[in-house]
Chains A and B, each alone.
Chain A
Amino acid sequence: MSVVEIKGVTKTFAQGNVTALESIELELQPGEFVSLIGPSGCGKSTLLRVIGDLTPPTHGTVTVNGKPAHRARKDGDYGIVFQDSVLFDWRTVAKNIALPLEMLGWDRERRKTRVDEMLDLVELRSFADHHPWQLSGGMQQRVSIARALSFEPALLLMDEPFGALDEMTRERLNLELLSIWEKLGSTVVFVTHSISEAVFLSTRVVVMSPRPGRIAGVVEIDLPTPRTAETRYTPRFFELVTKVRELLRSRGEHLLPEEEELLEADR
């Protein structure tokens, strides 16, 4: 059974009469790591939000684990990580990670065990009692990831989680995320506008084009696993990056100048 099944999803915003998504068809198998990539305005974040039932589609259906997305949300089937870590200042690192567990009604002991596991996973054990503002941006995002994974959701939704981080931190967190994903075997939907990040992380890259938001093409990423820092230097990596870039280019006439720049910067 597929984890996510998107059928004929269209999303229009009444304000400004914008078609953010048009006729999206997509299916995710268990354990897949799928990136959504495209220039701003291509609806990639909207698609993620539709999958997560944070915004309803105008037409079409989203099925998660065989249930309507709404039901899946109520059942706590997915964890979500936003671009900013969305940590709660009044909670310590450990308590931030424990939040979804509290909501699920786990008892104290069980929560503590799991939080400790998650802290080890993201290597923040010694920061358990710190408050978010005492952490660097990269560490905050690791807490956010630990929180999203703490209740072992079937589906992990990540909306440009490393977009606000510097290149070095970003590449390190890419590696960390991959090793976590390999350990836990969760299904991931990952929104990014970095081509190399998408290729490096994913099993599949979904390229989207703007106005209206459509799927321009899908690139299977057949890089060997486990991926390491060296993977980025292999010829196959470059071929795949080029392939994704060409797909983005083929819709180039739709790009605004600043979006062109964005693609260039990624080179």
Chain B
Amino acid sequence: MKRIVEWLPALAVFFLVVGLWEGLVRALHVQQFLLPKPSTIVSVFWTQRHTLWPAGWYTFKEALGGFAIGSGLGILAATVVSRFRTLGTALMPIFIAANAVPIIAFAPIFGAWFNPISPRSKMAVAGVLCFLPVMVNSLRGLNSAKPRQIELMRSYAASELEIWRRVRVPTALPFVFTALKVASVLAMIGAIVGEYFGGALNALGVLINSSAQVFQFPLAWAGILVASLLGIALYGAVAGTERLVIRWAPDTRDA
């Protein structure tokens, strides 16, 4: 019960903003290509559902694939680097520099490397976007066990593997999940922006892009709505998993 009450203010603000949007667009006669009414977007969202949802699903799969590959490799790389210190010292500056590179600029290149029509090029964009934050955060997590905790384990004659399993991994989990949440958002961005540079006709990014080009703005907005819902769903799935895995932490309970 308490949960619903907690959500009320956010819901109120949401409906207020949508209502205001609807009212202002009507009152000021804003042209549709600038900003369609929410009611128009929702009605297009419904009438075009047989186009929109398959397109959304297609793009979602690309995002999910990129998310899985990028995050998986990120966690793997962090594990290897945390195990071999010297490797870490050699690679970390490069990773941190790479983290500052606007990866999305490479989207056309990935199109050339892989078939631009195939979902693989979008997965590559999404994957590369996910990799670095997950890698950097997981590594930080794996290295943030307190020295005293390690010493305590040593006093029990624990092997490195046991210390890793019983201390380093649980310590890293909150860091990893924070990164995965960020990555889930990046994956959707990567997949959609990747599709803006070309992709299968039934992909969401292509649909949004082409509708906008032919002035079907309500359809473009409906596409954005689908993308948003899917993005929230992916984020929610990761956050839900986090709650299942990390039951102990006081701060994730209310977050």
Contacts of B155 in A (CB 8 A): 52, 54, 73, 78-80
- CB atoms of B152 and A103 under 8 A apart: no
How far is A74 from B157 in the complex, measured between Cα atoms in Å? 5
- CB atoms of B162 and A133 under 8 A apart: no
How far is A75 from B156 in the complex, measured between Cα atoms in Å? 8
Tell me if A233 counts as interface (CB < 8 A to partner B): no
- CB atoms of A54 and B151 under 8 A apart: yes
| Closest Cβ–Cβ distance, residue A145 to chain B (whole Å) | 13
Contacts of A90 in B (CB 8 A): 170, 173, 246, 248-249
- CB atoms of B154 and A82 under 8 A apart: no
Contacts of A82 in B (CB 8 A): 148, 151-152
Contacts of A91 in B (CB 8 A): 248
Q: Which of A61-101 contact B (CB under 8 A)?
A: 73-76, 78-80, 82, 84, 86, 88-91, 99-100
Contacts of B148 in A (CB 8 A): 82, 84, 86
Tell me if A232 counts as interface (CB < 8 A to partner B): no
| Closest Cβ–Cβ distance, residue A124 to chain B (whole Å) | 17
Tell me if A7 counts as interface (CB < 8 A to partner B): no
Cβ-closest chain B residue relative to A55:
B151
Contact among A86, A133, A134 with B152 in the assembled complex (CB-CB below 8 Å) = A86
- CB atoms of B156 and A100 under 8 A apart: yes
- CB atoms of B151 and A89 under 8 A apart: no
How far is A7 from B201 in the complex, measured between Cα atoms in Å? 80
Contacts of A74 in B (CB 8 A): 157
How far is A89 from B249 in the complex, measured between Cα atoms in Å? 7
Contacts of B158 in A (CB 8 A): 103
- CB atoms of B157 and A103 under 8 A apart: yes
| Closest Cβ–Cβ distance, residue B40 to chain A (whole Å) | 50
Known: A54-B151, A103-B162, A133-B250. A88 touches B157 (CB 8 A): no
Contacts of B249 in A (CB 8 A): 89-90
How far is A133 from B158 in the complex, measured between Cα atoms in Å? 25
How far is A74 from B249 in the complex, measured between Cα atoms in Å? 32
Secondary structure of the A contact surface, majority rule: loop
Tell me if A112 counts as interface (CB < 8 A to partner B): no
Tell me if B61 counts as interface (CB < 8 A to partner A): no
- CB atoms of A54 and B154 under 8 A apart: yes
- How big is the B interface, by class? 10 to 19
- CB atoms of B248 and A80 under 8 A apart: no
| Closest Cβ–Cβ distance, residue B156 to chain A (whole Å) | 5
Contacts of A103 in B (CB 8 A): 156-158, 162
Contacts of B166 in A (CB 8 A): 88, 99
Tell me if B73 counts as interface (CB < 8 A to partner A): no
How far is A100 from B97 in the complex, measured between Cα atoms in Å? 42
How far is A91 from B162 in the complex, measured between Cα atoms in Å? 15
How far is A75 from B157 in the complex, measured between Cα atoms in Å? 7
Tell me if A243 counts as interface (CB < 8 A to partner B): no
Tell me if B167 counts as interface (CB < 8 A to partner A): yes
How far is A15 from B57 in the complex, measured between Cα atoms in Å? 59
How far is A73 from B157 in the complex, measured between Cα atoms in Å? 6
Known: A88-B167, A89-B248, A103-B162. A76 touches B151 (CB 8 A): no
Tell me if B149 counts as interface (CB < 8 A to partner A): yes
Contacts of B26 in A (CB 8 A): none
Known: A103-B162, A131-B248. A86 touches B156 (CB 8 A): no
Contacts of A79 in B (CB 8 A): 155
Contacts of B157 in A (CB 8 A): 73-76, 103
Cβ-closest chain A residue relative to B152:
A86
Name 20 A/B residue pairs within 8 A (Cβ), A-sorted: A52-B155, A54-B151, A54-B154, A73-B155, A74-B157, A75-B157, A78-B155, A82-B148, A82-B151, A84-B148, A86-B146, A86-B148, A86-B152, A89-B248, A90-B173, A90-B249, A99-B166, A131-B248, A131-B250, A134-B250
Instruction: Enumerate chain B interface residues (CB-CB to A < 8 A).
Output: 146, 148-149, 151-152, 154-158, 162, 166-167, 170, 173, 246, 248-250
Q: List 13 additional contacts besides A73-B154, A131-B250; criterion CB under 8 Å.
A: A52-B155, A73-B155, A75-B157, A82-B148, A86-B146, A86-B148, A88-B167, A89-B249, A91-B248, A99-B166, A103-B156, A103-B158, A103-B162
* 8 shortest interchain CB distances as A-B pairs: A90-B248, A90-B170, A103-B156, A74-B157, A86-B148, A80-B155, A100-B156, A131-B248
